[in-house]
Amino acid sequence: MKKIIFTGPESTGKTTICRAMAEYFNCSWVPEYAREYLEQLNRPYTENDLFVIAKGQWEREEQQLDHHGSFLFCDTSMLVLKIWSVHKYGKCHPWISRKLEQEKPARYFLCAPDIPWEYDSLREHPLVRNQLFELYEIELKKLGVAYHILRGKETERNAEVVKILRSL
């Protein structure tokens, strides 16, 4: 099973495309654990909560690796948690950084912020998506991993992902 990660700033279509690809390829996908965690939290989140979220996300991905299908689609990754943590707190928990080094998916798809930002009570950064996007690309280059930038409308992005995944 090949792990495929959709990453990028908030409100760039990660969940939409992840769900669509899982359906198209009839494979498992792992939703963003942060959403579930934060919706149940009755207080503002803290730096330690990001560590808890990272562990929950990692565990869910590990549980899905033995399921059916050619791919495991992940709606987020340790990269998101690292950038989120550094942006919000100026640092990243060492565990998150170690897991990011271990992640090694078959492909990262970096979703560009060229679609309209949609309000959601958990979203925080409508005005800095372009700056965050640049941080994602810098980190992906540092990691030396295969990645592809997704731009354009949902149908264009979906077709591009299908084409790339068929060639893996």
What pLDDT is recorded for position 87?
A: 95
How far is Cα 130 from Cα 133, in angstroms, rounded to an integer?
A: 5
What pLDDT is recorded for position 69?
A: 78
How far is Cα 131 from Cα 133, in angstroms, rounded to an integer?
A: 5
- Does the predicted model carry a pTM greater than 0.75? yes
Report whether CATH 1.10.3210.10 matches the domain 2-166: no
What pLDDT is recorded for position 122?
A: 87
pLDDT of the chain, 168 residues: tens digit per residue? 899 999 999 999 999 999 999 999 999 999 999 999 999 999 999 999 999 999 999 999 999 987 767 999 999 999 999 999 999 999 999 999 999 999 989 999 999 999 999 988 888 888 899 999 999 999 999 999 999 999 999 999 999 999 999 999
Please report the DSSP string for 84-123 in residue order: HHHHHHS---HHHHHHHHHH--SEEEEE-S-S-----TT-
What pLDDT is recorded for position 119?
A: 86
What pLDDT is recorded for position 65?
A: 82
